[in-house]
Amino acid sequence: MKIISSKHDINQLAKQSKASGKSIGFVPTMGFLHEGHLALVKEARQENDCVIMSIFVNPIQFGPSEDYDMYPRDAERDKKLAKEAGVDILFMPSVDEMYKKKQSVKMMVTERTNRLCGAKRPMHFDGVVMVLTKLFHLTIPDRAYFGLKDAQQFAIVSALVDDFDFSVEIVPVNTVREPSGLAISSRNVYLTAEERQKAPALYHSLLLGKKRIAEGETDVTVITDAVNDYLHQHLTAKIDYVELLSFPELETISVASGNMILAAAIQFSAARLIDNIIMES
Ligand code: AMP
């Protein structure tokens, strides 16, 4: 596995791969790798000749009061796991390498962003599309892999690629969970022992909502109220949101039908967890 930190070098390697007729699968991450990231690599490995992973904690997608400084990092462990998973090229740039001191052009997401995490994290997705635009140009992937755990990110990146005619296929990968149902996340390390025990209730609340829909409930407020009630009964953490929206448009609906996402976010003492279920009715 090659480890690269310069934009020039990663672009040269990607161009060489392309010139020799190899397809490129790209897995962008912020590191502190876990089973979720590795599921993306596994799928990329199956579908491409060359797998590039990036590890970059992107400062411009964090708000001033968010956890950029505290975000967990372990470069040595990440290198080992990436190599074992079959990554061919690991791109680990510094912030100075990725961004000029003064950027003259910025990007702004105008749809699919004022709901869910976007509503609570203004500018977050502007930072996400900016870094991905740069990474797509540098790594020139045929396919890029995104976890559905971050379903709003998947929806916005799909729109980015569609609106700006990027020549890359965005491949969704199902959420990897612990046996308890808890979605695996780098931020889970910041749960206390007691919170970790209770955190699976987040997924179970969404399963309850899904069950109500399967039983024939179509009133969105009744469904989201049931999810909220379950969370209140099982957790003391603050509920950021519970929403049932169309997917991937992320528009509000009053009747549950068609492709939908049921999503929730909760704030524990030092970790904010998100989860969702995507379904059709
Ligand atoms: P992150 O490092 O948190 O930015 O995540 C990098 C990629 O891994 C994103 O596409 C995430 O959606 C994906 N990912 C994170 N956790 C999981 C998980 N539990 N299952 C599947 N994909 C995941």
Quick check: 36 and 145 in contact, CB under 8 A?
A: no
- If one residue of 27, 29, 35, 55 were mutated to test the ligand 1 pocket, choosing by the most ligand atoms within 8 A of its CB, it would be 29
**What's the CATH architecture for 186-280?**
2-Layer Sandwich (3.30)
Cα separation of 84 and 77, whole Å? 11
Q: What share of the chain is helix, strand, coil (3-state, %, to 5)?
A: 45, 20, 35
CA 222 / ligand 1 centre spacing (Å):
30
- Regarding pTM above 0.85, the answer is yes
3 state DSSP class of 56: coil
Out of 8, 37, 204, 234, which one is annotated catalytic? 37
CA of 37 to the centre of ligand 1 (A): 5
Residues of the chain with CATH 3.40.50.620: 2-173
Q: What is the CA radius of gyration of the chain?
A: 19
Residue 213: both structure tokens together:
């829909």
> Judging by beta carbons within 10 Å of its beta carbon (0-12, 13-18, 19+), is residue 47 exposed, middle or buried?
middle
C-alpha of residue 149 to centroid of ligand 1, in Å: 6
Q: What is the pLDDT of residue 19?
A: 97
Q: Which of 130, 135, 131, 124 is nearest to 272 (CA)?
A: 124
The token pair that represents 139 in the structure block: 């790594």
Close Cβ partners of 35 (under 8 Å, ≥ 6 residues apart): 176, 184
Q: What is the pLDDT of residues 226-257, one digit of tens each?
A: 999 999 999 998 999 999 999 999 999 999 99
pLDDT band at 281 (very low <50, low <70, confident <90, very high): confident
Substitution candidate for ligand 1 out of 124, 153, 173 with most atoms within 8 A of CB? 173
Q: What pLDDT sits at residue 264?
A: 98
Q: Is 137 a catalytic residue?
A: no
Which whole number is the average pLDDT over 149-172?
98
CA of 144 to the centre of ligand 1 (A): 12
Closest-lying ligand 1 atom to the alpha carbon of residue 27: 7
Which residue, chain included where needed, has tokens 């977050």?
124
Q: What counts of helices (H) and strands (E) characterise the chain?
A: 10, 9
Residues with CB under 6 A from ligand 1: 29-30, 36-37, 39-40, 146-147, 149-150, 173, 175-176, 183-186
Atom of ligand 1 nearest to the CA of 185: 16
Residue span(s) of the chain under CATH 3.30.1300.10 come to 186-280
Find residue 143's DSSP bridge partners: 25, 169
* pLDDT of res. 65: 87
Name the nearest CA neighbour of 277 among 200, 205, 225.
205
Using CA positions, which residue lies closest to atom 10 of ligand 1?
Answer: 146
121 contacts 63 by C-beta, under 8 angstroms? yes
Tell me, in angstroms, the distance from the centre of ligand 1 to residue 216's CA.
32
Q: How confident is the model at residue 55 (pLDDT cuts 50, 70, 90)?
A: very high
Q: Which of 57, 131, 149 maximizes ligand 1 atoms within 8 Å of its Cβ, making it the mutation to test the pocket?
A: 149
Confidence band of 262 (pLDDT split at 50, 70, 90): very high
Alpha helical stretches, state H, the chain: 7-19, 35-47, 75-85, 95-98, 116-120, 124-139, 151-163, 193-198, 201-214, 220-234
Residue 134 has pLDDT above 90, yes or no: yes
CATH of 2-173, one of 3.40.50.720, 3.30.1490.20, 3.30.460.20, 3.40.50.620: 3.40.50.620
How far does residue 273's CA lie from ligand 1's centre (Å)?
Answer: 12
pLDDT, tens digit, for every residue of 193-222?
A: 999 999 999 999 999 999 999 999 999 999
Nearest alpha carbon, ligand 1 atom 22: 147
Cβ neighbours of 115 (radius 10 Å): 19
Strand order of the sheet with strand 2-4?
A: 2-4, 89-91, 50-55, 24-29, 143-147, 169-173
For residue 61, what pLDDT is reported? 96
Tens digit of each residue's pLDDT (9 = 90 or more) over 89-123: 999 999 999 998 888 999 999 999 999 999 988 89
Return mean pLDDT, the chain. Answer: 97
